[in-house]
Structure 1
Amino acid sequence: MFYKSKKFENKKLSDLVNIQKGETITSNTKEDGDIPVIAGGKVPAYYNNKSNYKGNVITISASGSSGYVWWHDNPIWASDCNVLTEKSKEANIKYIYHILKFNQENIYKLQKGSVQSHVYASDLAEIIIPTPPIEIQQKIVNEINERKQKALRLQKEAKEILENAKSQVERIIF
């Protein structure tokens, strides 16, 4: 189900990161601001004027889009979600995020409940994570970042090519 390494030690997620439940906040109790409130969806539920996490954290939706894995560079208010924070010096939190994101479909399979599905911290805690040395984890993170940047450049280039083609066709036709 989840990736297991034959080359490196495999550890439970709970051995590598802290897994905490977000704090309840509602549209009635929030105070308007620019801090995203992360709940059970794939976009912020609303915005608050305070954060309960400073950033560099992973959230995994507990309900709604339960199991959705999301990285946050900036401060957030974590509400209806599981929050993963750095715990061990042997685990790069961004590496953990990428491994979890690669396993997104498997994490969705952890959903329980028929009317309103949930993903529980106790189930997340048991996920097995391949744990190479921290230097290799950082190399993996760097490689993924480089490839994402290249993909963004190529998307931008493709969009420009299509816009130019459209302009040329319009000049020919009109």
Structure 2
Amino acid sequence: MVVLSLVTGCNNCTGSVCGNDNSGNAVRVRSDAPPGQVVTGPSATAPSSPTKTEYIAAADAICAQCTRDADKLAGDDVTEEKFDALIRMGARMADDWHALTPPAGDAEQVDTFIDKQYADVAVLRKIKDLWATGDAEAAQAKLDAAYSEDVRAERRASARTYGSRVCY
């Protein structure tokens, strides 16, 4: 089922979205500030950015889990319940990527990946709505256009260039 590939292959991989740069370097009131003074800057307890290798491993683990979950839905039958599960799965995957702190300097690049995943979830919702209204032809056309081999190949290349080996 092609729909499974957009969730199980992740299509993208990683990032942040919705105005949250998720950089892990947010300005905080430092705990070592003198009493009565507010000194801002990265605190000693602020989370550090992971290395790119650590980040990719965490994102790929999310994709691997999503693939295992989606494999349980495999089959040619398309049901509303299956679409709902895939939509939830795709959104959960994007949310899990969003929760990761990207490596220093990579926030913009991973934002692009995560934005694509959220867009994929929106497309899945639109396709589900078209099928629900009985417009299977339009639903299939939207699916074919959004997840053509060319689109998937571009995303695989982009993810591979970044370093992912599981997500695409």
TM-score w.r.t. the length of structure 2 is 0.25
Q: Which has more helix, going by share of residues?
A: 2
Q: Which has more strand, going by share of residues?
A: 1
TM-score w.r.t. the length of structure 1 is 0.24
